Amino acid sequence: MRDSLEVLIETDVPERAREEHAPELPTLRRFAGYELLGRIAVGGMAEVFLARERSEGAARLLALKVIRASLERDAGFAEMFMREGAVALGLRHPNVCHVYRFGVESGHAYLAMELVAGTSVRELIVYARKTRTRIPPHVAAKIASSVAEALHSAHVARDERGRALEVVHQDVSPHNVMVAWDGTVKLLDFGVAQSSLETTRDDPAKDTASDTDGHTIVRGKLAYLSPEQCTGAKIDARSDVFSLGIVLHEMLTGERIFRRDGPAATMRAIAVEPLKDDAFAGIPAGLARVLVKALARSPRHRYASAAEMQEDLERYLADERMVVTSAKIATALQQIVGDAYGRPPELDARPEVVAALPEPRADATALPFPLVRERAPARGSRVAWVIAALAVIALVAMGVVTTMRAGSVEPRAVEVAPVAAPPSEPIVVEEPAAVAPEVVEPAPVEVAPAAPAHVEPPAAQAETESVSAARERRRAERARRRASVPTTPGGFVEDPGF
């Protein structure tokens, strides 16, 4: 019985599960606490490495995005790179690629992100074109619906204090939508996103940046811009809706709807030219209606939110009696990409790909700029114990001085209730307003008849001077504490839920 059971278990283990127990990939270098296994992508702004993180005997793979060495001294790129981490770290949605941690290691800015094993929508469209097939309309509609839901989550996101983040992605394109091999859809790359976390010197009423010559800098990929981005007008969530409409159209047709010969012609087509008569040829009528509204040139005629666009996409699927699950998307992926389905990302494991990265350093490096505008610390219950302690000490000192002025009798010991220890973190205490001293009548004391007491004025004066010196020492200590409060974040910013 035992032999037959062992044979049954061996037979039921799929080949893919056995491969998971293959020897681990060697570590090329440690960086920011992660083991770098190789490079999986290179972009104009950053390199992406396959990394491994260990914790209590377990390990997981993730994507580590590091700003390119040639851009490290460019403050604009560095700020845009770090803002991607600040924005994405505050988003919580299953269709948004999660950022676990971001910071600076030995002068190199990095983001530790969720590793999505799959293909981008851009690659999926290329695969479909090569095989002379198209992404099924119901699959394209479901992918677009998932992206719309992720966008709406970002548009309405709030920080820990309940303040709106006002995120606008600004770079919705097939390149930035990943579809995992299991059919899960992920929106990524918030590097050029607009949000309330920006710390730019530009006029806050403007939504486009300018270089030193006054030229407008357009954010996003050219073929997927909205009319507002092309003209430098104010943008909001409806700009992302327009870009998502372009992505949906490309998934359905395999062609870019605003593709022209050159940047100027492309931007003109987006901003002013009417759509071609055959722009929606071959597209199901229900999806064509969605595209007409999403691609309206005026934001007032567009969907007011990504959530409204998602509702119409889901309504189309319901009208067609189509239930599209992640498993169905995965099946469509397998049919389109063929033998490439399930493959891991191509890994460049040559030692030289990590040569530009520094060896691990023990000391932490502060972020090069503040990510969130600093606000004056609120006065709270943490300073109440300090004010109470000062009041008790003042009353006791006044009682002692008054008693000594009344006679030469040795003052009685006074028991003072212990004051709670202050918290370990530095605090800032504002100077209390001046209060008129309260006159405390000393309790009557019976003493044996004796010669009249004589109090030396110099002794009383010395006592008063000692009280003043103590007060000056307290003021100096408060000033020292104020100066010790940190004003910039240090090392890294980490997801509290990670």
CA distance between the termini of the chain: 46
CA–CA distances in Å: residue 226 to residues 154, 244, 271, 305: 18, 10, 8, 15
Q: Which 8-state DSSP code applies to residue 494?
A: E
Q: How far apart are CA 285 and CA 233, in angstroms?
A: 32
Nearest alpha-carbon partner for 63 in 36, 81, 88: 36
Task: Give me the catalytic one of 171, 189, 207, 240.
Answer: 171
CA–CA distances in Å: residue 119 to residues 176, 177, 345: 10, 9, 9
- For every residue of 91-127, DSSP letters joined together read ---TTBPPEEEEEEETTEEEEEE----EEEHHHHHHH
State CA 168 to chain mean position distance. 14
Contact 269, 258 (CB under 8 A): yes
Please indicate whether residue 211 is annotated as part of the active site. no
Which residues, in sequence order, are CB contacts of 168 under 8 Å at separation 6+?
155, 193, 194, 195, 235, 236, 237, 239, 240
Which residues, in sequence order, are CB contacts of 308 under 8 Å at separation 6+?
none
Nearest alpha-carbon partner for 146 in 95, 191, 208, 192: 95
Catalytic (active-site) positions: 171
